[in-house]
Copies of this chain bind each other. A is one copy, B any other.
């Protein structure tokens, strides 16, 4: 199958690119009929192992000023295009990890280059305002063009933030304020509350909690970290909060063979959620909200059924808790819908939805009911960055024009089908193949095998990412097409065939 796919891919490439420009070792595809791939390269091109000598030299230098042990390699972003990441040793790799899922429409997209070249946009990049007090003239307009044009149903309000952690932190605060307002019956705040909050004590700082799931990841600042339970290294040595943690379903694959077991597993987890809410309330620690990822990403790409999430939403409503969906990694279109939770078909929308990464700016949507009742309650100096809103508006235009949500569904299907085929052929290496859109993953037998596969793939020109304790995750850009899927599958098929 592998060689068949390869020849199909090559034919397709040659058809798309009427002319090829030979430029040193690099092939730059010229303007073709399809505008969406005209800035992409036509395949990986490897010159050294990765990290190569130049990367290793730079790693040593960086390590002098900060711990650089997590660095994979150094990049040449000027030369990186579309789905291809070029490193400082001249290696060109098909990037299926896209900067931990944070490059929406590929590297060096012509629309973004054009945006930066327009003189009227310069000011937005160099004059960063304090958005909460002195916004630029086009602030509301740009939010409408960008974030609000893709707002989840029922969520009319939006606040921008600088990163994913700040988004979740401020979403928590919004939920706590909403809950307290509800609890005090919208009466005035007491003197005791105002005084006690200044010294971190109740009733001003009430003993509220967010319920989270084992395996979840919601960021690394102290509040977020109390809801993150993916890896010990994230949490070790950092003081935390006694907030309830429910089990997240551990589904068995293939799903069609374990329908009953998986239903029971999900029911068990949901029951535990309700028990925890009740148990914590008994010890006077009130669960004000529930936070969940549509697919637990850092924790190992753990999925649950749409039904699980609908029932979880019902439990939140039943107990008066806010329902917060963290779409920092799943949002932006990679699952085939703009927001992964839109697959669930909720009757009652989520209360708060957080985002970052592919959205280029952090922030969150919320229902009007959750609107802060006074200024400066959800606030900081920058409150995001209008230059990111400007770029996001352009990105969303490209997503719509090029129909990239349908592309994610389509390309994801090609990827998933290929992975299932590889799983059938190499069951000792690949298991639990799963995915929604291009948001795919599979398990390997163990951590060592996973890391070895990632390293080999990288040296063959494919950048992959790990998650959980032995999974490999796919987080390509939204311009990842069927032919990229086939290209990857061919390379990976060879790797598996030769794996020792």
User: Which residue numbers of A lie inside 8 Å of B, CB to CB?
Assistant: 58, 61-62, 64-78, 80, 85, 88, 99-103, 107-109, 112-113, 115-117, 120, 122-130, 132-137, 139-140, 143-144, 148, 156-159, 162-166, 169-170, 172-173, 176-177, 179-181, 189, 193-195, 197-201, 204-209, 214, 219-224, 226, 229, 232-243, 245, 356-357, 360, 371-382, 387, 391
Contacts of A129 in B (CB 8 A): 75, 77, 99
Contacts of A70 in B (CB 8 A): 132-133, 375-376, 379
Contacts of A172 in B (CB 8 A): 222
Taking a contact as CB atoms under 8 Å apart, the answer to whether B245 and A200 are in contact is yes
Taking a contact as CB atoms under 8 Å apart, the answer to whether A239 and B205 are in contact is yes
Taking a contact as CB atoms under 8 Å apart, the answer to whether B133 and A122 are in contact is no
* 18 extra interface residue pairs, beta carbon distance < 8 Å, beyond A234-B376, A236-B377: A65-B156, A66-B159, A66-B371, A67-B377, A72-B133, A74-B134, A74-B137, A75-B137, A76-B136, A77-B123, A80-B123, A88-B137, A102-B382, A107-B127, A177-B236, A200-B245, A201-B242, A233-B376
- CB < 8 Å neighbour of A237 from B62, B103, B177: B177
Taking a contact as CB atoms under 8 Å apart, the answer to whether A134 and B72 are in contact is yes
Contacts of A100 in B (CB 8 A): 130, 133, 381
CA distance A264 to B373 in the complex (A): 42
CA distance A71 to B139 in the complex (A): 12
CA distance A115 to B177 in the complex (A): 43
Taking a contact as CB atoms under 8 Å apart, the answer to whether A113 and B133 are in contact is no
A10 to chain B, nearest CB (A): 28
Taking a contact as CB atoms under 8 Å apart, the answer to whether A140 and B62 are in contact is yes
Taking a contact as CB atoms under 8 Å apart, the answer to whether B164 and A163 are in contact is no
Taking a contact as CB atoms under 8 Å apart, the answer to whether B102 and A130 are in contact is yes
Contacts of A85 in B (CB 8 A): 134
Copies of this chain, complex-wide, total 2
A164 to chain B, nearest CB (A): 7
Taking a contact as CB atoms under 8 Å apart, the answer to whether B238 and A241 are in contact is no
Known contacts A77-B136, A103-B127, A229-B199, A239 near B116 by CB under 8 Å: no
Taking a contact as CB atoms under 8 Å apart, the answer to whether B221 and A169 are in contact is yes
Taking a contact as CB atoms under 8 Å apart, the answer to whether A239 and B75 are in contact is no
A1 to chain B, nearest CB (A): 32
- CB < 8 Å neighbour of A75 from B122, B134, B373: B134
Taking a contact as CB atoms under 8 Å apart, the answer to whether B173 and A238 are in contact is yes
Known contacts A127-B80, A132-B70, A232 near B194 by CB under 8 Å: yes
Taking a contact as CB atoms under 8 Å apart, the answer to whether B380 and A163 are in contact is yes
Leading 8 A-B pairs by shortest Cβ distance: A222-B223, A70-B375, A69-B375, A200-B240, A205-B240, A180-B237, A169-B221, A112-B126
Contacts of A245 in B (CB 8 A): 199-200
**Which partner residue on chain B sits nearest A329 by CB separation?**
B381
Contacts of A372 in B (CB 8 A): 67
Known contacts A75-B137, A198-B214, A220 near B148 by CB under 8 Å: no
Contacts of A194 in B (CB 8 A): 232, 236
Contacts of A204 in B (CB 8 A): 232, 235-237
Taking a contact as CB atoms under 8 Å apart, the answer to whether A238 and B205 are in contact is yes
- CB < 8 Å neighbour of A126 from B67, B109, B159, B236: B109
CA distance A136 to B242 in the complex (A): 40
Contacts of A123 in B (CB 8 A): 77-78, 80, 108
A317 to chain B, nearest CB (A): 21
A52 to chain B, nearest CB (A): 12
18 contacts between A and B (CB under 8 A): A58-B137, A67-B371, A67-B378, A71-B132, A78-B123, A102-B128, A103-B128, A112-B126, A126-B391, A176-B237, A197-B238, A200-B242, A200-B245, A204-B236, A205-B236, A221-B222, A222-B224, A356-B381
CA distance A71 to B130 in the complex (A): 10
Contacts of A135 in B (CB 8 A): 58, 62, 71, 74-75
Considering residues A68, A102, A166, A236, which has the most beta carbons from chain B within 10 angstroms of its beta carbon?
A236
Contacts of A163 in B (CB 8 A): 162-163, 166, 380-382
- CB < 8 Å neighbour of A134 from B71, B205, B239, B374: B71
Contacts of A74 in B (CB 8 A): 134-137, 139
Taking a contact as CB atoms under 8 Å apart, the answer to whether A222 and B219 are in contact is no
Taking a contact as CB atoms under 8 Å apart, the answer to whether B205 and A235 are in contact is yes
Contacts of A77 in B (CB 8 A): 123-124, 127, 129, 136
CA distance A24 to B385 in the complex (A): 31
Contacts of A166 in B (CB 8 A): 162-163, 165-166, 221
Contacts of A148 in B (CB 8 A): 65
